[in-house]
Amino acid sequence: MQINGQKVIGWQLDDTLDDLNLSIAGLREGERLIINGCPENIYRASEGFSTSELKTAILKGGKEPVISTAHWKAAKEKGFESKPHFDFGTLVHWAALEPERIEKELVIKPSIALNTNEGKQNYIAWMLQKLTEYGHANVITNYEEWIKENTETVTTPETIEVEEEQTCLPAASDALKYIFELVPEYKKEKIPKRSKAEKEAAVDHLFSMMPEEKSETFQKWIKENTITEKVKVKKKTETTKKIGPKITEKYKKLESIFPLVCVSTNDYHSAKRIHKKITDFKAMHGIEFLATEVSCWVRYKGHILKGRLDAIGNDLNIYDIKTTAEIEEGAFLRAAERLKYQFQGFTYTTIFGLQCFRWLGVEKQEPFSIAPFQVFSNMDWLTECAPIVIKAMDAIAWAKENKIYNDPYNEFKAIEPYRYKQDKKVEEENVNTQSWVPIHDPSENFTWGSTNGA
């Protein structure tokens, strides 16, 4: 497969990020490296400026843009491609390019309130159930190992009350009475017997004096009058407890490693409807996607620009899928301006060396209408981006080397503002003044507006 005469190579299983960066570093000015099948995480970590990265530094478009390397630095620390949640645009990309992921990775989020411990526990149980259903036993194992690693055994002293059987001998006073009945002459013994201790001592003393016969009789009486009863006794002991993560910590941990994507019931069914719409659209116009998520790097003005296109069609056109609130021409244009699509358009045409490429607009709501837009590399809308992109790359490269980041809007604490020299006004070339157009050419087998159910 080729793009604009450039061979597209396949990613090999034993390829590494270091191998890729070595190849990128060897590119000469204008040379390209195009790879099909490069893992997304490898692409994102590779050398080069992406559109998402450059847009963070470009705060104002036009002939004299405001470039903020402080904004770039803040975005880099957060992650240029990071998103706070699974958005609808990603859902549409899955439906168009990777429909198998809808069945493998999308799950309908349950209606469970998470503001109570019981709700969090129920949500944990639901996640574990889904991990089992979708064959992610390794995630469950990692979660259980995390709990073990964060569980400690704590021993604490404790006083407890227990019931014990206790043997109760006859009272010392009763024993003395029996002794005096058994041996009356012992009454003459002058021994102290006022307190309990004295009485017990007197019993022991008199018992030691008894003749054998009387002694046996007394012992028999003691045995007959001894009782066994249960009494409550306080004892000191130690309690060993295993203290693990709290329910909120367990919930957050499992959610952070949960590989499935939770969406609403409406979004889940929307993904399936969009997939059918795009499938019907491609069938109607005879389009097949020969490759998806193709990555490219080019050395441009001394820097590396990189991009990752959505699809290459069998018509050898490049397609990039965009969601839009309205498929109507003016609405799409306004959205494109607001979201700085022109920088992506410039990057795509520059990276892949294209004269044109196509955006495939998909409405965000029913009936999910689809319409293609053709973008040409010589449009003012794109050519005006060249000096801005070059300035942004130069500024970021300088900031990284010198570790100084400018902050024109004073939104971050900059070490030392970096002032840019005013660029000389670039002479306007005789280019196509059309800023952007939807596809109108009947020979292309595309029409603007309604897609007739596609």
**How confident is the model over 87-137, as pLDDT tens digits?**
677 788 888 888 888 888 888 888 888 899 999 999 999 999 999 999 999
Q: Is residue 221 included in any domain, yes or no?
A: no
Of 157 and 447, more confident: 157
Residue 362 located in a structural domain = yes
410 φ/ψ sector (left φ>0, alpha ψ -120 to 50, else beta): left
Tell me, yes or no, whether 12 lies in a domain: yes
Number of structural domains the chain divides into: 1
Angle, helices 385-402/69-78, rounded to nearest 10 degrees: 70
Residue 98 within a domain:
no
Cβ count near 219 (within 10 Å): 12
With respect to residue 290, please indicate whether it lies within any of the assigned structural domains: yes
Question: pLDDT digit string (tens) for 16-74?
Answer: 999 999 999 999 998 889 898 898 889 988 999 888 888 888 876 445 668 888 888 88
Domain range for 70 is 2-86+265-444
Residue 410 pLDDT: 63
Q: Does residue 59 lie in a domain region? A: yes
**CATH code of the domain in which 18 resides:** 3.90.320.10
Kindly state the tokens that stand for 361. Answer: 């607009």
For position 412, what pLDDT does the model report? 52
Please name the residue that has the structure tokens 């001394």. 302
Distance CA 418, CA 284 (A): 54
- The answer to whether the CB of 376 falls within 8 A of the CB of 359 is no
Sequence-separated (6 or more) residues with CB below 8 Å from residue 385: 342, 343, 345, 346
Read off the tokens for 157.
Answer: 């002293």
Q: pLDDT (tens digit, 9 = 90+) per residue, 300-336?
A: 999 999 988 888 888 778 888 888 888 776 788 788 7
Statement: residue 193 has pLDDT above 60: yes
